[in-house]
Amino acid sequence: MTQKKTDLLQGTLDLLVLKTLAQGPQHGYGIAQKILVMSREVLEVQQGSLYPALHRLEKKGMVSSEWKESEAGRMAKIYSLTKAGRQHLAQEMEQWQRYTSAINWVLEG
Amino acid sequence: MRLPWQKAETELEREIRYHLESLAAEYELQGLSRKEAEQQARKVFGGVESVKEECRDLRWWRWAADGVQDLRYGWRMIRKTPSISVAAVVSLALGIGATSAILTLAHTLLWSDLCVKAPQQLDEVLWISQDHAGGMVRSTSGSMYQDGALRVADFFSRAAIGAMQQRTAGKAQIAGHIGGELVSSSVNGKVSVVRLRGVTGNFFAVVGARQAAGRLLQHADDTPSSVPVLVVTHRFADRTWGSDSAAVGRTLRVNNTTYEIVGVLAAEFGGLIPGDTTDLYVPLEQTPALRQPDSFARQHGDSPTTWWIQVLARRAPATTQVELQRLLDTAFASSWTVPPTKVEATPHIRVQSAARGLGSIRHDLGNPMWMLLSLVALVLVVDCANIANLLLARAARRQKEVALRLSLGCSRGRLIRQFLTESLLLASIGAALSLPVAIAAGQLMTTLLGSQGAGMTLSMQPHLSTFLITGAIAIATAVLFGLYPAFRASQVQTVPALKEGSGSAGTRSRQLWAPAKMLVFGQTTLGVLLVASAILFTGKLMALVNQDTGFNRDHVLLFDVRPGEVGHEGEALRNFYFNAEQRLRDLPGVEAVGLAQTRPMRGGGSWTGVKGPGQARPSQTAEHRSNAGFLDSMSIPLAAGRAITPQEARGGLKVAVLSEDLARDMGLSPALGAHVTVEGGETYQVVGIARAARYHSMSETAPVLYLPFDYNSSSATFVVRTSIPPSDAFFAIQQVFQGLSRDLPLVDVYTMEQQISRTLQKERLFAWLCGSFGVLALVLCAVGLYGLMSNITERRTAEVGIRMALGASRQAVMKQVIGEGMLLVAGGVVVGLPAAWVVARFAIAEGFLAKEVAYSEPIALAAGVLLAASALAVLAPSVRAASVDPMRALREG
């Protein structure tokens, strides 16, 4: 079974991360798996590249982190969405919608 | 304590490990083996190190953390290539240190303002004329020099100064001073010889100097009937009493006068001339010269034809130099009682800025100083080329390392910063070490300038600004050339560089060497120039020292005595001299005793005009008053006639001996028996002709008119010729003077050799500096070449190994390395030779060098020396190349 995979559009990784975290606090590995599952394994993400994105968002104050025991019983760095992150996500999603519908109009029109 | 970046680093590490382990666990559940699962996890995760780098880039302390790491890494790399690092640091330290010391000297002598209030308003007043001012001025005291076609002089009559003060009232202040003579002063019975300057009462107000204690001189101090007071310099107070305030109120005897010290000058006031050694400032009317009832200054000082006072002016802020010059010119002309004979002989005022002190030393040292500065610039260029060369070599070695770091995920920006840090580290070490070099060089120059009372006292604290300038140039070079390879290296194709490694010398690495080769080439060219100038000037000095002086300089002792200043007068004074002459002559080991009013080889003399019968214009000559034994003590032979006899000398008869060149100049025939008239009107009969001999300096000849010694003179120089070493005779000589006068110090005791070397102080300093520049350039060139060739051979180890494996002999390998190095040097020499020749022609045209100086041999010699030094420098790398073990080279290459 071969499945065609698509490179992530630039700048969209932040959006995916925020969206994933909107469903609840999660560690990096969990975020990666969730994105993979939610995108039905179409999106090709080098899982490592998640971390610079997470750290960047943390620096901007969109997410916060703390070391906690994970479900597997080990210490893991758990990220959660902040208030600012939530607002940013709403804006970004709205922007994305407009963007995709615009593209769709052009392609289908 | 854990630093923030260490904590962040472990957290990052844990986070990523957690991710990888979770992934691996998942894959293991899917049925992969543990090893396969871990591999798969890494593949899915991507480059761990580059992810880490990206995360690190986000941290705010990133810059500082990297800096610390860069430094630590830089230090490690510096230690890894010790020979190159040490060579670069030494180049930097020597280059910055030596050049900033020279610049400091130039600054002190040429560029620094006097430490007084508003120095720009201070002017030196001089007069200029195209021709001899003739009868307008009958007697003078001061200095005169030739500036192109103009005579420039600095002495004025009292009447002229009075007229100037009146004329410029409200527009400028005018002060007078008379020049630093040496006198014996005694403090609490201890006698020392000090330099004294007579100044008008308003002098310090005009100069704008401050006192450290007490008060400075005022108008009221400067009358013939004032209580004798004086002001001392901080240096003198410090030397004598250890503090400024302790000096005020004390008394000090000069000759027979007791002066009260009313004030001490502030430490920052170093005098009017750069390197001024004046210790005492005395009101003009109270100077020893004017207090003696029968002194010349007392009798003739008021005459409008006696010009003897130097003038200093302070302009009001609104007055321009041109305006001042115009005012002074009319005032000066109004003071003449004898009109000028012709237009060309009319003196005019020249006003020149005294903001940096009076001009004579700059006049003396100005040209050589500029020459030295150009040499400094050349040395600095050679130095920078060296640093550049060494850094290029260092970087070229590290191509493989750079490629490795790039492929491990190091960003190019980071790489460049690493190189920058390393260069800065290297440059800072060099700059730090240059400080002691600069201080040592400064002390050396101060010693050379000030030794044996050469008449200069300089404070040579390394000047911060000069230090910053040279330091900035050298460090900029280090940074620039440290970065250049980083930029190049960051464009390296990682895979071929890794494969090629450091062993082979492909076309690209040859290219990388090109700038280094150019640097060695250019360095050698400049090296020829520097070494040639070193040989030229040291050679010039040697020639000066070793030339035939016309007198015998061995076994001669010179010293001054000042009996007239410790109470001997009239008959007692004459008897003192008679007894001294006689008792010295009777000492065993003493061959002749000369007594002279002017010390021979002193650098100056007493000059006058002399006319023979029917001679229209007087011949200029040195007037030398000496006793009967003088010519013997100097071993100056007579060409004709006889010397002055003791009876003639003691009786003050009007007889004279002419030097050969004076007799020739006067055109006397027959000379013997002729009557000659000295300026001022006295007539002497010529009894002898002496062979020409150097008189006042080694570099100039002077005609001499020998006249009988004046036994009423308050001071004299003894010239004692001994058959035993002069130092052995000195104790007995001292005993003689102890017996004659208890408190009489013998001053400036030197052998003739020492006296001669003192007159060559300037030449010696100059030759010494040029010589050290030459050596410095030579060392730098050799180090640069060594660095380059070491690197080339090291990089070619594999190539050499192959060649030797294929049958090349060790000699052939050595020959190739030496040949390559020497080709570069030879190229530099070929360009350097004509360049040096052109520069020498230019130096002669500009008057830096005398016309008769032979410069071709020194230039050729310089080229030879440079080639020899280069051969030595490439020898070591060539031997190392030849001792390569082919097997090892091939295995490791």
Asked if pLDDT for residue B514 goes beyond 70, the answer is no
Sequence-separated (6 or more) residues with CB below 8 Å from residue B852? none
pLDDT at B827: 85
Nearest to B54 among A28, A32, A52 (CB): A52
pLDDT given for residue B729 in this prediction: 87
**Nearest residue on chain B to A28, alpha-carbon basis:** B19
List the beta strands (DSSP E) in B294-347: 306-307, 310-315
Indicate whether A30 pLDDT > 60: yes
Of A41-50, B250-259, B703-712, the least confident = A41-50
User: B14 and A75 in contact by Cβ < 8 A?
Assistant: yes
**Interface mutation target, options A29, A36, A37, A45, chain B, most CBs of B under 10 Å:** A29
Whole-number pLDDT of residue B359: 67
Residue with more model confidence, B659 or B181: B659
Highest mean pLDDT among A12-26, B161-175, B742-756: B161-175
Bridging pattern class, strands B150-153 and B122-129: antiparallel
Do residues B395 and B74 lie in contact, with contact meaning Cβ atoms separated by under 8 Å?
no
- How far apart are the C-alpha atoms of B307 and B309, rounded to whole Å? 6
Amino acid at B458: L
Residue B266 identity (one-letter amino acid): A
Interface mutation target, options B16, B45, B59, chain A, most CBs of A under 10 Å:
B45
Q: Does B45 touch chain A (CB under 8 A)?
A: yes
Strand bridging mode B139-140 / B306-307: parallel
- Residue type at position B320: T
Nearest chain B residue (CA) to A33: B23
Q: Max CA-CA distance within chain A?
A: 53
Q: Are B584 and B730 in contact (CB under 8 A)?
A: no
Partners of residue A41 in chain B, C-beta under 8 Å? none
Q: Which has the higher per-residue pLDDT, B204 or B499?
A: B204
Contact B18 A47 (CB under 8 A): no
User: Residue B156 gets which letter from DSSP?
Assistant: B
pLDDT of amino acid B853? 67
Chain A positions touching B45 (Cβ under 8 A) are: 46-48
- Which residue has better confidence, B187 or B572? B572
Query: CB distance B15–A77 less than 8 Å?
Result: yes
Decide if B54 touches A, using CB distance below 8 A: yes
How confident is the model over B608-640, as pLDDT tens digits?
Answer: 888 888 888 888 888 899 999 999 999 999 999
B583-606 tens-digit pLDDT:
999 999 999 999 998 888 877 677
Instruction: Indicate the residue of A46, A48, A74 with minimum beta-carbon distance to B18.
Output: A74
Write the DSSP assignment of B31-73 as a string of letters: T--HHHHHHHHHHHH--HHHHHHHHHHT-TTHHHHHHHHHHHH
Could you check whether the bond before residue B670 is cis, i.e. omega within 30 degrees of 0?
yes
Residue A46 contacts B, CB cutoff 8 Å: yes
Shortest CB distance from B15 goes to which of A28, A32, A72? A28
The distance of B23 to chain A (nearest Cα, Å) reads 8
Of B11, B18, B58, the CB nearest to A59: B58
- Distance from C-alpha of B553 to C-alpha of B867, rounded to nearest angstrom: 39
CB-nearest to A46 from B15, B46, B57 is: B46
What does the pLDDT look like over B46-75, one tens digit per residue? 888 888 877 777 776 766 777 787 888 888
Nearest residue in chain B measured CA to CA from A36: B44
Sign of CA pseudo-dihedral B882, B883, B884, B887: positive
Lowest mean pLDDT among B86-100, B129-143, B507-521: B507-521
By DSSP bridging, strand B280-283 and strand B190-199 are parallel
Q: Which residues contact B502 (CB under 8 A, 6 or more apart)?
A: B397, B399, B400, B795
Check CB contact of A28 with chain B, cutoff 8 Å.
yes
Residues in chain A, total: 109
CA distance B418 to chain A (A): 23
For B688-716, the DSSP string reads EEEPP---S-SS----EEEEE--TT-S-E
Q: What contacts B491, CB < 8 A, 6 or more positions away?
A: none
Residue B507 region by backbone torsions, left for phi larger than 0, else alpha for psi between -120 and 50, else beta: alpha
Residue B144, strand partner residues: B153
Instruction: Check CB contact of A8 with chain B, cutoff 8 Å.
Output: no
Region of B603 please: left (phi>0), alpha (psi -120 to 50) or beta.
left
Contact A32 B51 (CB under 8 A): no
Q: Which of B343, B350, B338 is nearest to B303 (CA)?
A: B338
User: At B555, is the pLDDT very low, low, confident or very high (cuts 50, 70, 90)?
Assistant: very high
Q: How confident is the model at residue A7 (pLDDT cuts 50, 70, 90)?
A: low
Contact (Cβ atoms closer than 8 angstroms) between residue B531 and residue B778: yes
Percent pLDDT > 90 in chain B is 20
CA-CA distance, B758 to B449, in Å (whole number)?
A: 10
Residues of chain A found within 8 Å of residue B44, distances taken between Cβ atoms: 46-47
Residue B58 to residue B62: CA distance in whole angstroms? 7
Read off the pTM: 0.63
Closest partner residue to A48 among B22, B47, B57, by Cβ? Answer: B47
State whether residue B49 sits within 8 Å of chain A by CB: no
Q: A73 in contact with B at a CB cutoff of 8 Å?
A: no
pLDDT of B473 > 90? The answer is no
Confidence of residue B364 (pLDDT cuts 50, 70, 90): low
The Cα of B5 is separated from the nearest Cα of chain A by a number of Å equal to 14
* Whole-number Å distance between alpha carbons of B244 and B263: 8
Give the integer Cα–Cα distance in Å for B332 and B330.
5
What residues contact residue B474 under an 8 Å CB cut-off, 6+ apart?
B92, B95, B96, B380, B383, B384, B387, B427, B430, B431
Neighbours of B133 (CB within 10 A): 19
H or E element in which residue B660 lies: helix B660-666
Contact: A47, B58; criterion CB under 8 Å: no
Give contacts of B 197-216 with A, CB under 8 A. none
B288-332 pLDDT per residue, tens: 877 766 666 777 788 888 888 999 999 999 999 999 999 999 999
Say which range, B242-256, B440-454, B505-519, B592-606, has the weakest mean pLDDT. Answer: B505-519
Sheet-wide strand order for A75-81: A26-27, A75-81, A63-69
Q: Which residue of A has its CA nearest to B60?
A: A59
| Strands A63-69 and A6-7, bridge-based pairing | unpaired
Using one digit for the tens of pLDDT, what is the confidence trace for B836-846? 888 888 877 76
Q: Which residues in chain A have their CB less than 8 angstroms from residue B58's CB?
A: 52, 55-56, 59
CA-based nearest distance A101→chain B, Å: 32
User: Which residues from chain B sit within 8 angstroms of residue A67, using beta carbons?
Assistant: 11
Our CA-based measurement puts residue A49 at a distance from the nearest CA of chain B, in whole angstroms, of 6
According to DSSP, residue B221 is labeled G
A vs B, Cβ pairs < 8 A, gives 54
User: Best interface-test mutation with B: which of A49, A51, A62, A69 has the largest number of B CBs within 10 A?
Assistant: A51
Q: How far apart are CA B797 and CA B877, in angstroms?
A: 11
Angstroms from A20 CA to nearest CA on chain B: 17
Look at residues B153, B156, B202 and name the one whose alpha carbon lies nearest to residue B331. Answer: B156
Vertex B135 angle, CA B285 and B610, to 5°: 100
Stretch (H or E) spanning B186: strand B172-187
A72 → chain B, closest CA residue: B22
Nearest C-alpha of chain B: how many angstroms from A29? 5
C-alpha span between A45 and A65 (Å, rounded) = 22
Q: Does A56 touch chain B (CB under 8 A)?
A: yes
- Smallest Cβ–Cβ distance between B51 and the set A51, A74, A75 belongs to A51
